Amino acid sequence: MPESKQQTLYGWGHAPLAECRTWRPEKQRELAHFINQEGPVLARGLGRSYGDSSLQPNGVILTERLNHLIDFDSNRGMVRVQAGVTLKELMDITIPRGWIPAAIPGTCHVTLGGAFACNVHGKNQYREGDFAEHVQSIRLLLPSGESVDCSTTHNREIFWTTAGGMGMTGIIEELTLKLKPISSSSLSSTTYSVETLEDMVGAFEEYRDSSDYMVGWIDHMARGEDIGRGIFEAATHIDTESGGAPLSAYKPQKKGLNVPFFLPSFVLNRYSMAIYNKLRFRKYSAWRKTETSGFGQFFHPLDRIGNWNRLYGKRGFFQYQCMFPDSPDVVAQMLTFLSALHSKNLFSFLAVIKYHRRSKGLLTFSQAGYSIALDFPNTARVQAVLPQLNRWVADNGGRVYLAKDAILSAEHFRIMYGKAATDWESVINQIDPNAKFTSLMSDRLEWKRRE
Ligand SMILES: Cc1cc2nc3c(=O)[nH]c(=O)nc-3n(C[C@H](O)[C@H](O)[C@H](O)COP(=O)(O)OP(=O)(O)OC[C@H]3O[C@@H](n4cnc5c(N)ncnc54)[C@H](O)[C@@H]3O)c2cc1C
């Protein structure tokens, strides 16, 4: 049994912080010991979820050393890994051999266990669905101490309860993934500016049948008639004959700049961000610029800056991602609602819009429609206003993404996730009747019954 350590842990948003007892097992077989610990425990990957979903003061099992590649069939694109393998480690091995994960989130520094537990999505969610749809099977250590293999055909209910299940069913030990074939390490991307949200939605509709990936960036500091303006980007895999770089030319992404310490929180403020947003908006025109992009540049531009979350200062920030089924109108209303908050000095520093299709899984974020992700600095004002935003989102049929959340209430969670929440809670409570696996998030959202 590894020695425990006391550590201050936090998610990527640096809010909240928690003093946690931690273990860093070296061997998969050590995992079973944690079930016998006094009190609740929780698995953690790289802590890239933003809020409190990977925090458990009584005991956090750090899975990062459980990162072995077990098997890779490069003819079929099937790979079996331990759950602590990161997306970056996986991509660096499989891309030169012609295979890429089908669902890639905006950072490659996540474990595959964490990606499954959050059922993450990429800029191609509308086409490929979420991460779990490309996982053939998992091996899960249940709270009972038994290890079970689960897939979409065997122990199906446990599989879909664990996908997006935020660590509540036990510890994912291994995963088998089906990858997507590629013939070069480049994408052809088209980028241009749009003046209104209507134009942004029009761009998503125009490109959705012809493009592998789509994303929009909205200038959230814009006011009045400019609300909703932004930059749209669509991209598609290309082969070498169309100018793509050969697979052998793929270079693992390296960090460029690093933010060495937490900057004072006044550095990012409404004025500096208004200038940044204006410059970014002006970088592109309505003319559709098509260029060849490398994978790192397209999938993970932020990863080039190490510890960029420190730009927000020690108090940290909240990323708020919500989605509305089939209703761009509600996104427009939400932007107007948010712009009204500018007068209360509440600004999001970033606004990213994505298009989704309905997801599989019991507790799933994606529905057919648009999601919008916003970054708010952690201030008392923001903490007071975000519950109002949650109420507004709940009343308008939307839901927030748990992988980013730190402030949702149990009441709003139940309104947003409805019957899916009730069904999922009933299964996690059958799998874990003694509430062995809990987190600060599960306590906040009142997921587990305690006798
Ligand atoms: C810059 C940035 C961009 C992002 N972009 C996207 C995006 O585009 N799309 C998207 O969907 N998400 C995105 N995310 C969120 C991120 O992809 C997810 O939160 C991801 O799951 C984090 O993985 P992790 O290994 O760090 O997990 P952690 O944050 O450590 O844990 C997250 C949850 O998974 C559980 N967990 C972790 N490992 C295991 C395991 N082995 N067994 C059981 N449960 C486990 C934890 O208990 C916790 O509940 C982004 C995050 C960042 C920082």
**pLDDT digits 0-9 by tens, 15-37:** 999 999 999 999 999 999 998 89
The two beta strands, 17-23 and 60-62, are parallel
Q: Which helix (H) or strand (E) holds 234?
A: strand 230-237
Average pLDDT over the chain reads: 92
The per-residue pLDDT for 372 is 93
Nearest CA to ligand 1 atom 53: 48
Domain that holds residue 229: 186-411
pLDDT, tens digit, 9 for 90 and up, residues 378-419: 999 889 989 999 999 999 999 999 999 999 999 999 999 999
Protein residue with least CA distance to atom 1, ligand 1: 107
Q: Is residue 168's pLDDT more than 80?
A: yes
Residue 420 falls inside a structural domain: no
Give the count of domains, the chain. 1
Q: Can you tell me the mean pLDDT for 106-135?
A: 98
pLDDT of residue 139: 98
Reply yes or no on whether the pLDDT at 41 is more than 70.
Answer: yes
Report which ligand 1 atom has the smallest distance to the Cα of 12. 53
**Do the beta carbons of residue 341 and residue 190 sit within 8 Å?**
no
- Can you list the positions of beta strands (E) in 270-316? 289-294
pLDDT by residue (tens digit) across 312-370?
888 999 999 999 987 778 888 887 777 777 766 677 877 899 999 999 889 989 999 99
Percent of the chain with pLDDT over 90: 74
Residue 146 maps to a domain: no
Q: Is residue 19 part of a domain?
A: no
Question: CA 265 from chain center: how many Å?
Answer: 24
Residue 91 lies in a domain: no
With bands split at pLDDT 50, 70 and 90, how would you rate the model's confidence at 450?
Answer: low
Please state the atom number of ligand 1 nearest to the C-alpha of residue 173: 41
* Nearest atom, ligand 1, residue 121 CA: 11
Do 332 and 228 meet the contact criterion of CB atoms below 8 Å apart? yes
Percent of the chain with pLDDT over 70: 97
Cα of 54 vs centre of ligand 1, distance in Å, is: 8
Q: How far is the CA of 291 from the centre of ligand 1 (A)?
A: 31
CA–CA dist 169, 20 (Å, integer): 20
| Beta sheet of 78-82, edge-to-edge order | 69-73, 78-82, 171-178, 135-141, 147-151
**Closest to 339 measured CA to CA, from 240, 220, 427:** 220
| Rama region for 164: left / alpha / beta (φ>0; ψ in -120 to 50; rest) | left
Q: Is the pLDDT of residue 65 over 90?
A: yes
- Which whole number is the average pLDDT over 418-447? 97
pLDDT for 225 equals 76
Q: Cα angle at 151 between 355 and 40, to 5 degrees?
A: 90
Q: Minimum mean pLDDT among 57-66, 76-85, 365-374: which range?
A: 365-374
Q: From the CA of 84, how far away is ligand 1's center (Å)?
A: 12
Instruction: Indicate the pTM of the whole model.
Output: 0.96
Tell me the HSE value of 211 on the side-chain side, using a 13 A CA sphere: 24
**How many angstroms does the Cα of residue 166 sit away from the middle of ligand 1?**
9
What pLDDT, on the 0 to 100 scale, is given for residue 256?
74
Atom of ligand 1 nearest to the CA of 112: 25
Nearest CA to ligand 1 atom 47: 167
259 within a domain of the structure (yes/no):
yes
User: Which residue has its alpha carbon closest to ligand 1 atom 49?
Assistant: 166
Mean pLDDT of 235-263: 88
Closest CA relative to residue 182, chosen from 107, 97, 81? 97
Alpha carbons 200 and 193: distance in angstroms, whole number: 9
Distance 406 CA to ligand 1 centre (A): 13
Determine the residue of 58, 120, 173, 356 to mutate for testing ligand 1's pocket, defined as the one with the most ligand atoms within 8 A of the Cβ atom: 120
- The rounded Å distance from CA 285 to ligand 1 centre is 34
100 pLDDT more than 60: yes
Q: How far, in Å, from the CA of 52 to the mean position of ligand 1?
A: 11
Residue nearest to atom 38 of ligand 1 (CA): 114
Q: In terms of pLDDT, which residue wins out, 283 or 231? A: 231
H or E stretch including 201?
Answer: helix 197-207
- Does residue 358 form part of some domain? yes
C-alpha 364 – ligand 1 centre gap (Å) = 14
Kindly give the distance from the C-alpha atom of residue 162 to the centroid of ligand 1, in angstroms, as a whole number: 13
Tokens at residue 261, please?
A: 């310490």
User: 244 in a domain, yes or no?
Assistant: yes
Q: Which protein residues touch ligand 1 with a CB less than 6 Å away?
A: 12, 42-49, 53-54, 63, 83, 105-107, 110-111, 113-115, 117-118, 120-122, 166-167, 171-172, 302, 403, 439
Q: State which of 23, 44, 89 you would mutate to test the pocket of ligand 1, scoring each by most atoms of that ligand within 8 A of its C-beta.
A: 44
Phi first, then psi, for residue 286 (nearest 5°) are -70, -10
Residue 129 has pLDDT above 70, yes or no: yes
Q: Which amino acid is at 109?
A: H
Q: Span 200-213, mean pLDDT? A: 96
Q: Is the pLDDT of residue 439 over 90?
A: yes
Determine the residue of 24, 107, 108 to mutate for testing ligand 1's pocket, defined as the one with the most ligand atoms within 8 A of the Cβ atom: 107
Write the CATH number for 304. Answer: 3.40.462
pLDDT for position 328: 74
In the reported structure, the alpha carbon of residue 161 is separated from the centroid of ligand 1 by a whole-number distance in angstroms of: 16
Rounded distance from Cα 112 to ligand 1 centre (Å) = 8
Q: Name the 3-class secondary structure at 210.
A: coil
268 vs 355: CA distance, rounded Å: 28
Give a yes or no: residue 260 inside a domain. Answer: yes
* Ligand 1 centre distance from Cα of residue 108 (Å): 10
